[in-house]
């Protein structure tokens, strides 16, 4: 769905190999699960508040079991990115990613826009046009947030209170579709090292927000995300990271990064929805 080198399976495979996921390195074949152009998908029924069915990549459905490997980090739209987000976005084809973002709409603050035009080049849907200032066609915008992240004047925003909680809920419903029919056959491994402020898909990085913690394993996507957030919050924040507050142990690091997002709503909704349980017992090895 996004601008960049993951538009189709061929480019995606090249990107993966450049990042070290070649067959010769990992000793398993790499399959882009939604096909060459993202059209290999199936509708999976879910008992959702937002969706009655979700679109999941065909080869995910056909897989007998899954190991969901997640690098935990911050995220501009969801506060943090963990196993639930990985299932939701990672197992959805472009149309499924659009479903999840739908309803979020970029708004441009005209008084802050300097008319540089950069956002126009970064919108994957051609939703932004230029006069003296930029403007968004709300009938085309799918709320992918690419423009928010690149505007040098921070002139673009979402309605965070209204739209973002629903976006988090839609991700949970998609995550449930990704694991439907695989009860007891999914293992989650989460990596809590190099915990950077923003998503791994952005073309920049930054100092980790807390020291490295280690690895988590679970059969429950909600428990593993809840444990990851708790372990991160227990750390003292790195003074030289982009945490602008909440450095002390026990404070919510992700709201110290992305103050407009309540990322914990993802975990609460996933617990209520029955994707898993936010309660866990941590066994240290």
Tokens for 38, please give them.
């993202």
Within 29-58, the residues that bind ligand SF4 by CB under 6 A are: none
Judged by CB under 6 A, which stretch of 37-45, 65-73, 135-143, 186-194 contacts ligand SF4? 135-143
76 makes contact with ligand SF4 (CB under 6 A): no
| Contacting range for ligand SF4; rule: CB under 6 A; set: 105-113, 201-209, 222-230, 246-254 | 105-113
Nearer to ligand SF4, 9 or 156 (CB): 156
Instruction: Please report how many Cα atoms fall inside a 13 Å half-sphere around the Cα of residue 157, on the Cβ side.
Output: 15
Cα distance between residue 58 and residue 34, in whole Å: 6
Candidates 127, 178, 243, 257: give the one binding ligand SF4 (CB under 6 A). Answer: 127
Q: Does position 113 bind ligand SF4 by CB under 6 A? A: yes
- 3-state class (DSSP) for residue 273: helix
Among the residue ranges 52-60, 92-100, 118-126, 243-251, the one whose residues contact ligand SF4 (CB under 6 A):
118-126
Question: Is 77 a residue that touches ligand SF4 (CB under 6 A)?
Answer: no
Beginning with the edge strand found earlier in the chain, give each strand of the sheet holding 66-71 in spatial order: 66-71, 186-192, 214-218
Q: How many residues sit in the footprint of ligand SF4 (CB under 6 A)?
A: 26
Task: Decide: is 89 part of the binding site for ligand SF4 (CB under 6 A).
Answer: no
Distance CA(139)–CA(61), nearest Å, equals: 32
How far apart, in whole angstroms, are the C-alpha atoms of residue 83 and residue 68?
Answer: 7
d(CA 19, CA 262): 31
Q: What is the DSSP letter of 91?
A: T
Question: Which residue of 17, 69, 116, 189 would you call a contact of ligand SF4, by CB under 6 A?
Answer: 116
Segment interacting with ligand SF4 (CB under 6 A) among 60-68, 77-85, 114-122, 209-217:
114-122
Rg (CA), the chain: 19
Q: Using alpha carbons, select from 140, 138, 117, 136 the residue that is nearest to residue 128.
A: 136
Give the nearer residue to ligand SF4 in terms of CB position, either 101 or 278.
Answer: 101
- Binding to ligand SF4 (CB under 6 A) within 148-187 occurs at 151, 153, 155-156
Residues 6+ apart with CB under 8 A from 138: 105, 127
**Span interacting with ligand SF4, options 83-91, 133-141, 196-204, 224-232, rule CB under 6 A:** 133-141
By CB under 6 A, tell whether 94 contacts ligand SF4: no
Burial level of 184, CB count in 10 A (0-12/13-18/19+)? Answer: exposed
Site for ligand SF4, rule CB under 6 A:
106, 108, 113-119, 123, 125, 127-128, 134, 136, 141-147, 151, 153, 155-156
């Amino acid at each position: 769905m996004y601008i960049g080198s993951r538009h189709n399976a061929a480019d995606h495979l090249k990107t993966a190999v450049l990042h070290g996921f070649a067959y010769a390195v990992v000793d398993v074949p790499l399959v882009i699960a939604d096909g060459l152009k993202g059209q290999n998908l199936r509708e999976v029924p879910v008992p959702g508040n937002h969706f009655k069915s979700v679109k999941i990549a065909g080869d995910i459905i056909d897989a007998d079991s899954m190991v969901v490997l997640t690098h935990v980090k911050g995220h501009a739209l969801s506060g943090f990115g963990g196993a639930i987000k990985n299932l939701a976005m990672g197992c959805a084809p472009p149309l499924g990613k659009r479903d999840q973002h739908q309803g979020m709409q970029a708004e441009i603050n005209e008084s802050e826009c300097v008319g540089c035009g950069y956002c126009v080049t970064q919108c994957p849907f051609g939703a932004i046009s230029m006069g003296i200032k930029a403007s968004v066609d709300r009938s085309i915008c799918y709320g992918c947030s690419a423009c928010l992240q690149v505007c040098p004047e921070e002139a673009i925003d979402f309605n965070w209170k209204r739209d973002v909680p629903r976006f988090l809920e839609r991700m949970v419903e998609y995550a449930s579709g990704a694991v439907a029919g695989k009860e007891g056959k999914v293992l989650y491994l989460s990596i809590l090292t190099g915990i950077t402020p923003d998503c791994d898909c952005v073309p920049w990085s930054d100092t980790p927000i807390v020291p490295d913690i280690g690895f988590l394993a679970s059969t429950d996507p909600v428990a593993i995300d809840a444990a990851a957030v708790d372990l991160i919050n227990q750390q003292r924040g790195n003074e030289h990271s982009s945490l602008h507050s909440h450095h002390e142990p026990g404070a919510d690091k992700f709201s110290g990064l992305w103050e407009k997002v309540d990322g914990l709503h993802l975990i609460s909704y996933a617990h209520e929805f029955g994707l898993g349980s936010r309660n866990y017992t941590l066994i240290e090895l």
